[in-house]
Amino acid sequence: MESRRSYHQELDDIRADMVKLAATVVENIPRGTQVLLDGDLEAADYLILSDDEMNDRSVALEERCYAVIALQQPMAGDLRRLMAAVRMIGEIERSNDLVVNICKAARRLYGHPLDPKLRGMVAKMSDLAHQLFRFAVDAYDEADGGLAAALDDMDDNLDTVHGEFIAAIFDCHKAGSLELEQAVQLALVARFYERIGDHAVNIGERVHYMVTGLLEDRESEDRQRQAEIEPPPGAGN
């Protein structure tokens, strides 16, 4: 009996630590955006360096999930919870990497003031990505399959703003108010926000599986993984 109490306590602890790990990304999205909009190099360095700790936490949590699976041989719902957690850890860790990439882009854009329209659209993409990720965390924490399933539709708003932002970049470059190098960096930033939204949707799919035992259509995730590319040489330094 004591061993089962310990087992269920470990499951609860893993859930709590998953929420804390994801909450770090929720907090870092607006921080990274402020770094970009303010040109705050000191804050950029802090977020970039803190990514090592995030990676360590992710690996440790994943290993705990595997240890419970190996030692306790969970069944049914408990096994789904653990397998979903393993998959979500990767989504969370990669999302934080994208925030780091935004901070690195801020370094390369330093000293180049942004057009007010572009600044406003960056802030809007950040707000939408932040909201999506927060809802994804809430869906997991509350085992809310309905909220998890709604994330894909919510992501359409971010995709729309992403497209509008790319068009605005072209307009600014054509008007001569934005150099090509800065235009490329801003296009990458937009892609980073869009990918954070994709990761939130993927987390939602895992929560839906965890709650219902049914796998969502994986086409959206497959498209994202095919589309995900590393930044061009020099873009991640």
How would DSSP label each residue in 105-142?
Answer: HHHHHTT-PPPHHHHHHHHHHHHHHHHHHHHHHHHHHT
Q: Give the pLDDT confidence score for residue 104 in this predicted structure.
A: 97
pTM for the model stands at 0.87
**Residue 95 contacts residue 25 (beta carbons within 8 Å):** yes
Q: Give the pLDDT confidence score for residue 177 in this predicted structure.
A: 85
**Residue 55 contacts residue 159 (beta carbons within 8 Å):** no
> Block means of pLDDT (10 residues each) for the chain, length 237 residues?
75 95 97 96 96 97 94 86 94 97 96 91 98 97 94 96 96 89 95 97 95 68 48 49
Q: Give the pLDDT confidence score for residue 223 in this predicted structure.
A: 47
Q: Give the pLDDT confidence score for residue 206 in this predicted structure.
A: 95
Check if CATH label 2.40.50.140 holds for domain 2-227.
Answer: no
Nearest to 80 by CA among 214, 231, 226: 214
Domain-wise residue ranges, the chain: 2-227
- Tally of CB atoms within 10 A around 142: 12
